């Protein structure tokens, strides 16, 4: 009597078969370049940011055209005065456009809190320091580009209106330094506003503080200057708007300008504005890392 041989299947069992899904979760490699791209997309996707940029360019270029037309046919439009006229025309609207750039900086910081998107952003980028650094870098690049386009574009408009040798004068180092200084002023003012917005996380409150720092404070100290107190001009020259004015005009001063008629100087003004921006950004970065998302 023979015993039946057990039939063994040649097919692989479920245990030996290759798994269809990896049991380990697939982790994407988060790079700083990726965070930069996401911040750039988020910033330019805001309609308010795009409108702010458009309004800023219109005011800057319109102001350059207005002052150029007003002066072009007068006795002041001489070859000797042309560098100063071109620089003044190109930077004429900066006292107004800096407020618009301040609003842009505030919106870049507060829009995610008002919409609740900050939770999604932090879920995608859990490490907060790179996220804040990427946002600041993107805002700085955008503000510098917009500031340069508005200022140098205003210079081209002014040169076209003045005519003659104005285009050659536009390449004067003093004119270029003046326009570059205005672009740097707009960038650093935007970063100052970004830091204030990140600190307060309230759009209305941050815009109010920015307007006080960039506009109201200068008016207050101009009024206080009537008192004759010696400390008033010494303090006022370090206000953000006064430092921006120094960046825009110091390169155009004649070499024989007396010391008492000069301000803090180009490089001191640039350092002062950098300190203002850092004074807002550094504590904002620390609080962004340590406090709750909402």
Amino acid 165: pLDDT: 85
**Considering its fold, how many domains does the chain have in total?**
1
Amino acid 15: pLDDT: 46
Instruction: Name which of 108, 114, 70, 121 is nearest 92 in CA terms.
Output: 70
> Position of tokens 């200057």?
225
Under 8 Å between Cβ of 146 and 44: no
How many angstroms separate the CA atoms of 250 and 190, rounded? 22
> Position of tokens 């740097």?
184
State the DSSP string of 58-121: HHHHHHHHHHHHHHHTSTT--TTTHHHHHHHHHTTTHHHHHHHHHHHHHHHHHHHHHHTHHHHH
Amino acid 56: pLDDT: 94
Give the domain range for residue 171.
Answer: 33-290
Is 2 a domain residue? Answer: no
Is 4 a domain residue? Answer: no
How many angstroms separate the CA atoms of 50 and 48, rounded? 5
Is 159 a domain residue? Answer: yes
Is 138 a domain residue? Answer: yes
Is 7 a domain residue? Answer: no
How many angstroms separate the CA atoms of 153 and 6, rounded? 90
293 contact partners, CB below 8 Å, separation of at least 6: 118, 119, 122
Is 188 a domain residue? Answer: yes
Opening angle at CA 136, ends 134 and 138, nearest 5: 65
Is 194 a domain residue? Answer: yes
Per-10-residue mean pLDDT of the chain, 294 residues long, equals: 47 46 53 87 90 94 93 84 90 90 94 80 79 94 96 94 88 93 97 96 94 94 88 91 92 73 87 97 92 67
Is 12 a domain residue? Answer: no
Maximum Cα–Cα distance for the chain, whole Å? 130
pTM, rounded to two decimals: 0.85
How many angstroms separate the CA atoms of 282 and 288, rounded? 10
């Amino acid at each position: 009597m023979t015993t039946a041989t057990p039939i063994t299947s040649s097919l692989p069992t479920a245990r030996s078969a290759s798994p269809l899904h990896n049991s380990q979760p697939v982790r994407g490699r988060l790079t700083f370049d990726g965070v930069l791209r996401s911040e750039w997309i988020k910033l330019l996707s805001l309609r308010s940011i795009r409108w702010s940029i458009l309004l800023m360019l219109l005011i800057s270029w319109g102001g350059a055209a207005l002052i150029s037309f007003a002066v072009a046919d007068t006795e002041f439009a001489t070859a000797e005065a042309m560098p100063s006229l071109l620089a003044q025309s190109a930077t004429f609207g900066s006292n107004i456009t800096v407020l618009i750039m301040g609003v842009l900086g505030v919106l870049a910081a507060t829009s995610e809190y008002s919409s609740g998107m900050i939770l999604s952003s932090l879920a995608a980028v859990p490490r907060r320091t790179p996220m804040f650094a990427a946002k600041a870098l993107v805002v700085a690049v955008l503000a510098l580009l917009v500031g340069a386009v508005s200022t140098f574009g205003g210079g081209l408009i002014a040169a076209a209106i003045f005519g003659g040798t104005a285009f050659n004068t536009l390449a004067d180092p003093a004119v270029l330094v003046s326009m570059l200084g205005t672009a740097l002023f707009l960038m650093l003012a935007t970063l100052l506003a970004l830091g204030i917005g990140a600190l307060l996380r309230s759009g209305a409150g941050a815009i109010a503080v920015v307007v006080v720092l960039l506009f109201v404070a200068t008016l207050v100290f101009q009024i206080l200057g009537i008192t004759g107190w010696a400390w008033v001009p010494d303090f006022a020259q370090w206000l953000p708007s006064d430092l921006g004015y120094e960046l825009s005009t110091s390169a155009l001063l004649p070499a024989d300008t007396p010391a008492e008629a000069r301000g803090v100087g180009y490089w001191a003004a640039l350092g002062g504005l950098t300190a203002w921006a850092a004074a807002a950004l550094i504590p904002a970065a620390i609080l962004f890392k340590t406090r709750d998302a909402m």
